Structure 1
Amino acid sequence: MNKHHTTIKIASLMATTLLITACSNKVDTMPDRSHSPCGDKPNCVSTQDSRADFNLAPYPLKGDVSIDQIESIALSFPRATVATKESHYLRVEYRSKVFRFVDDMEMRIEDGQLLVRSESRTGYSDFNVNRKRADALRDKLLQADLIFADNH
């Protein structure tokens, strides 16, 4: 087999793998998991999980914050699309730039708090991508004066 043929075969295999991976990330419906703790894989963070590796500090809301205000900030991140939106619930999908892997961030307004849960849809570890995004969301919500800086 010549070098050119091998290169074409490898490129074809990579393209097929990428296509299969991208297609497997499609989810039409997903149950609301905003109250659920994370599983055991290090690819999830949640305000509803008490374990240190998975826990996010509370997001205490200031006054009457709407899901529309939360949505505006959540969509300010790259490659974000709304998957589900209800009066007090929002699920935003974030796609990675190269392989198009999907992370789901769920946000629910409840009892003066914003519940946040962010998890990678595929893979074992997310290399703290979801925690970094949740922390960046907190920073943007603070800048917009929508949440308190601490658990007041």
Structure 2
Amino acid sequence: MFKIFTLALVATTLLGCSNGEISMQDRSAQPCGDKPNCVSTQDSREEFTLAPFTLTENASLDDIEKAALSLGRAKTGDKEQDYLRIEYTSRVFRFVDDLELRIDGNTLIVRSESRTGHSDFGVNRKRADALREALKQAGLI
């Protein structure tokens, strides 16, 4: 029994560590795949879609980054002129989710997806909703 527990603990630790920093391509404009671990403003399917985020005139990528980082357990993964990727790490198993944000005119494209696993139990949708609230509180949408 102890061997099984030890093996499970080692596997979980290694799996959690494998989700660390990796090079990612910009997928902000792509719809989600077929796994229920993603939400996007660019996807029209009911289970994956997010309502549009319309930015105010004074919204900047730096301000959006501050709001996204305020959601906790987050760090900036990539930041370019109008693109931002924030990495969120789960507390227990250290799974990583990517929140991709792109400013397109007065619209914020939002895509949040888990890197591993099939289902996220609604975590990415909750994160997108929390981001919407943080952006409203900051006067950015």
Query: Which TM-score tier does this pair reach, normalised by the shorter chain?
Result: over 0.9
Q: TM-score, normalised by structure 1?
A: 0.89
Structure 1 gaps, min length 5: 1-5, 148-152
Q: Residue 18 of structure 2 aligns with which residue?
A: 24
1:63 aligns with 2:57: yes
Q: Residue 144 of structure 1 aligns with which residue?
A: 138
SS of the residue 1:108 aligns to: strand
> Residue 88 of structure 2: which of 91, 94, 119 is its match?
94
1:127 aligns with 2:121: yes
Q: Residue 99 of structure 2 aligns with which residue?
A: 105
Within 5 A, what are the aligned runs for 1:48-59? 48-59=42-53
Taking the aligned partners of 2:113 and 2:61, their CA distance within structure 1 comes to 20
1:115 aligns with 2:112: no
**Letter paired with 1:109:** I
Greater alpha carbon shift after TM alignment, 53-62 vs 64-73: 64-73
Structure 2 gaps, min length 5: none
Return structure 1 stretches of 4+ with deviation > 4 angstroms. Answer: none
1:45 aligns with 2:48: no
- Greater Rg, structure 1 or structure 2? 1
Pairwise CA distance, 1:10: 3.1
Pairwise CA distance, 1:14: 2.3
Pairwise CA distance, 1:47: 0.3
Q: TM-score, normalised by structure 2?
A: 0.95
* Contact 2:78–2:86 (8 Å) recurs in 1: yes
Greater alpha carbon shift after TM alignment, 21-30 vs 57-66: 21-30
Taking the aligned partners of 1:36 and 1:136, their CA distance within structure 2 comes to 22
Percent of residue pairs bearing the same amino acid type: 60
Q: How many residues align?
A: 141
**Letter paired with 1:39:** G
Pairwise CA distance, 1:143: 1.1
